[in-house]
Amino acid sequence: ILPLVSVNQLLLLLLVLTVCAILYNKVHQVPLALRNETVDLDSPEEMEEEIPVVICAAAGRMGAAVAAISSIYSNTEANVLFYIVGLKTTIPHIRKWIENSKLKEIKFKVVEFNPMVLKGKIRQDASRPELLQPLNFVRFYLPLLIQKHEKVIYLDDDVIVQGDIQELYDTKLAPGHAAAFSDDCDLPSTHEMVRSVGMQNTYMGFLDYRKQAVRDLGISPSTCSFNPGVIVANMTEWKHQRITKQLEKWMQRNVEENLYSSTLGGGVATSPMLIVFHGKYSSINPMWHIRHLGWSPDARYSEQFLQEAKLLHWNGRYKPWDYPSVHTDLWENWFIPDPSGKFKLTRPDS
């Protein structure tokens, strides 16, 4: 009998130890999603930070947003959350495109932009009517669209990213600055391009200095402008300084007084930002915003220079999904065809 009792006791002891081991694992187990990372559960700041990236998906240019998202996602290990902003009519198309392509792995939220917020704030006489599209003004309303993030990246849709977006997100903003931009005079290698296509890169190109309200700003017309197609923004400062309200004020004044220069159609969305952020913005690394690729159908940068660039921007009329345009091969590397067939590239043989 004694050996039998001993065996039963031993089995009972083993059972108790097994249950204890299971319970211990349940309590101390790292969640599956974090299993491959070194995580100190007592230090939340060591968990991977989410990088919010805002991109608009406009009718007729959704392929641009797709290529931009594809390039960002393919070149980073960071935890990126895409905020894809569209109008009510375009949202189903972009959602279907993402969910039925290799982009279905991305983390994204679709945000509807209500164009009624722009009522009475836009003049209808710009030389480039496409710049009056409501989504061109999404960047003015970032805190209304993005609620839970302290720091946000905004990108125009006509960009591709060749570097790790984490680098751009790590851009340091000086105390009291609500945003960082790229200065239009920041890179000597782009100056020749600017001269060759007759571009303006000063405030004179965006504001009408014949108007008293513009002269009263006290900003020299030769002051270098900046490009708001790539923005790293601090939401706390943006709200604290009521940036959106300030931008709306200058939009309304332009409706009443026609303050923007007619030499540059891009002034519609850029001009109010140049006024509101004058002398109060931080700088983005110049290689993180190589622009003007869309200003001429034949003016080109050197291939070596473009290979070194972290972000390419086809600002201007000549877009890489249309024809004619330059450096389209770099853009097409990241383009994903529309599963519905609605969006098609325009090419000389198409």
The pLDDT of residue 145 is 93
- What pTM value is reported for the model? 0.84
For the chain, which residues make up each domain, given as ranges?
51-187+225-253+271-333
For 10-24, what is the mean pLDDT?
A: 70
Q: Which residues make Cβ contacts (< 8 Å) with residue 16, sequence separation at least 6?
A: none
Per residue in 56-113, pLDDT (tens digit) is 999 999 999 999 999 999 999 999 999 999 999 999 999 999 999 999 999 999 999 9
The CATH number assigned to the domain with range 51-187+225-253+271-333 reads 3.90.550.10
User: What stretch of H or E contains 4?
Assistant: helix 2-28
pLDDT digits (tens, 9 = 90+) for 295-343: 889 888 899 999 999 999 999 889 999 999 999 999 999 999 999 999 9
DSSP line for 220-284: -TTSB-EEEEEEEEEHHHHHHTTHHHHHHHHHHHHHHH--B-SS-TTHHHHHHHHHHTTT--EE-
pLDDT single digits (tens) 260-293 = 876 554 568 999 999 999 999 999 999 999 988 9
DSSP code of 148?
S
Query: Could you tell me the two tokens for 315?
Result: 């600002």
